[in-house]
Amino acid sequence: MAIWVHEDKGIFHLQSKGMSYIIELVNDYPAHVYWGRRLRHGSNLEGLRPPVTGGSLDRLPQEYPQYGTGDFRIPAYQAKLEDGTRVTELRYSGYRVLAGKPKLAGLPAVYVESEEEADTLELILRDDYAKLEVVLRYTVYAEMDAIARSVEFVNDGQAPLQLLRALSASVDFPAADMDMIYLSGAWSREGHITRRRLEQGGTSIESRRGMSSHQHNPFAALAKHGTDERQGEVYGFSLVYSGGYEAVAEVDSFGMARLAIGVNSFDFSWRLEPGESFQTPEAVMVYSGQGLGEMSRIYHRLYRTRLSRGQYRDKERPILVNNWEATYFDFNTDKLEAIAAEGAKLGIELFVLDDGWFGKRDADNSSLGDWTEDLRKLPGGLADLAARVNGHGMKFGLWVEPEMISPDSDLYRSHPDWCLHVPGRRRSELRWQLVLDYTREEVRQYIFESLSRIFSSVPVAYIKWDMNRCLTEIGSAQLPPERQGETAHRYVLGLYELLERLTSAFPHILFESCCSGGGRFDPGMLYYMPQTWTSDDTDAVERLKIQYGTSLVYPVSSMGAHVSAVPNHQVGRITPLSFRGDVAMSGNFGYELDLTNFTPEEKELVKVQVANYKEIRSLVQQGSLYRLQSPFEGNETAWMFVSDDQREALVYYFRVLAEPHPPRRTLLLSGLNPEVDYRLADSGEVYGGDRLMQAGLTLPEIQRDFVSGCFRLRAEA
């Protein structure tokens, strides 16, 4: 059993393999009293809550705090009643314990494959005056130190009410001696790790862009001062959502900290008619007492095996070549076939046709929405190109951007009201395109039929689903005035509904999410698409930071990583092909360049890279990741992958710039069995796992810029 209930004491104890989370009823308010290392259930669990004097809610560590009745910190929700008042007070009404984990209606979420994997606690709260019922759901996994939280609002009354704020989770901590860690950046600079000390007041990250964004990822962690990769306590919060969100940490005047996460309250409202309900997205909370590395590995295992779905969840991902940086919009069937033919000779398994194949798309400024082949470039259509690619023994993949519409398109000329817009206001074009209104069923149906026609007539094995701009003029011609504040969230719900239909109808297709790179790298998209294009920046040096930071939450199996041409198209840097390959092989490997331009020497190196990756990809994509040296802290980066049985390991080391007369370097490894001896594949030398982790692996001395090394370890029989 993962959930224990002391009804007489009002205590709810959620327990996993290494973690406990405890709730106590205080005057019918669910209070948060403990989250940390596992406590024995038989031990005395009373007295964990700090004393609250004078009945003040301002010091009570509430599980789902409200505003207006004495708690002046960040509220988790706010409702506006028909009489215009905005004061509600939720009190405990009852509970349910369920085996397994119920699905969330219309929303992605982590799941179980058997009821024994997890238990779910539902705490039922009510405001009798407003006739508002709120159900707090907690699913605790038995073998992973993770809790999935969400909230359902039900209008039990006879009058409508308006939700103005509806967050997914809120946790109070008894002390604020912690740092907030999150991922920040911009287009082509995603996934950079930021760490800030909590001080009195608020620390927040958010997106108001209608997508999870390049600027911040829907993830935040609170870590004790001094916590690093290997040691220290850390509490992770990850939102399974692809739209605008907020994560706010607040330290009050008593030195207590509160972190809340959920759909962004800015410009949000939701009208609840009598009998209707509203379900928040899910927040996945992870506890680690062994540093940031262990937190990441819990997220990786959970998201790789119990968030991602479909045929490709546990499969090795194909090595691909994408034509985008090779040709951009200037291509024809013969040129594309030539790249595919060269790729086949090198052992590459999948050819992907990127932007420019439809309508009259010779640049970014037209044809989105017109999903028919451009017969000027492809006289035989997609089917002919796919047949040629298949004839070389390669699978065929395709780029689409189905959430967008170009003003210069047949679709827009026929349906100018199908985009998000506000009547009488300017329609902001970003990248010469507008956003389709996915709140509308007829729009989603048009896209479903357009794509289904292609997927049914062309042997498509892979789809790169792109989104190249954020949401502006967020309004819908279909929604009445009192529901316009629902548009952004309804857009995301519409996207999820369409993705569920498409991925269910075409389960053989490997879908990869993209949003100008990592602009929508979030758990919500991973539920439908098991991998994401990590960044449009393919420079190997920049990718060290991008991939390292992204791995704080997301498994390597979710990260697309490609070798591109030099000088790099984003930063102009020239790096060796070997260095670019080693960086890209630490993800879902591929190439994004013109293979026909390679020299014979480069082709031989690519053959070796492709062959090597085929040998190691199961370990890279399914193994446990250990981060060894951070690119945010110096000139060197290192990480390693370890098999579940600890019999095999793969170590990557990178040094960006050479140093004069450098010191002798050793690299401390992690995750090995200290009692086992390991043989280095290249040299044949044998070292004990304890020696490699405590004394380290000696690195070769190479004097040049952009050095990389790969070390394979296998346990002795």
Tens of pLDDT, residues 457-504: 999 999 999 999 999 999 999 999 999 999 999 999 999 999 999 999
- What are the pLDDT digits (tens) for 280-331? 999 999 999 999 999 999 999 999 999 999 999 999 999 999 999 999 999 9
Residues facing 563 on adjacent strands: 591
User: Over the chain, what is the mean pLDDT?
Assistant: 97
Question: Which helix or strand (DSSP H or E) is residue 548 part of?
Answer: helix 540-550
What does the pLDDT read at residue 666?
96
Q: Residue 48's pLDDT band (boundaries 50, 70, 90)? A: confident
- Which member of 127, 437, 466, 537 is catalytic? 466
What is the model's pTM? 0.98
Query: Is 28 tagged catalytic?
Result: no
Q: Is the pLDDT of residue 237 over 70?
A: yes
- Which member of 536, 537, 539, 582 is catalytic? 536
- What are the pLDDT digits (tens) for 582-620? 999 999 999 999 999 999 999 999 999 999 999 999 999
What does the pLDDT read at residue 717?
85
What does the pLDDT read at residue 55?
64
What does the pLDDT read at residue 50?
66
Q: Residue 84's pLDDT band (boundaries 50, 70, 90)? A: very high
Q: Is the pLDDT of residue 234 over 90?
A: yes
Q: Is the pLDDT of residue 675 over 70?
A: yes
Q: Is the pLDDT of residue 52 over 70?
A: no
Q: Is the pLDDT of residue 44 over 90?
A: no
Please classify residue 113 by burial: count the beta carbons closer than 10 Å to its beta carbon, then call 0-12 exposed, 13-18 middle and 19+ buried: exposed
Q: Are 450 and 398 in contact (CB under 8 A)?
A: no
The SS3 assignment for 363 reads coil
Between CA 320 and CA 348 the distance in angstroms is: 6
- For every residue of 165-179, DSSP letters joined together read EEEEEEEEES---EE
- For every residue of 576-644, DSSP letters joined together read -HHHHHHHHTTSEEEEES-GGG--HHHHHHHHHHHHHHHHHHHHHHHSEEEEEE-TTSSSEEEEEEE-T
Q: Is the pLDDT of residue 370 over 90?
A: yes
Query: Is 384 tagged catalytic?
Result: no
Q: Number of H helices and number of E strands within the chain?
A: 12, 38
Q: Is the pLDDT of residue 47 over 90?
A: no
Q: Mean pLDDT throughout 677-696?
A: 97
In terms of residues, how long is the chain?
Answer: 717
The SS3 assignment for 313 reads coil
C-alpha angle with apex 257: 254 to 259, nearest 5 degrees? Answer: 150
Q: Mean pLDDT throughout 525-538?
A: 98
What does the pLDDT read at residue 53?
58
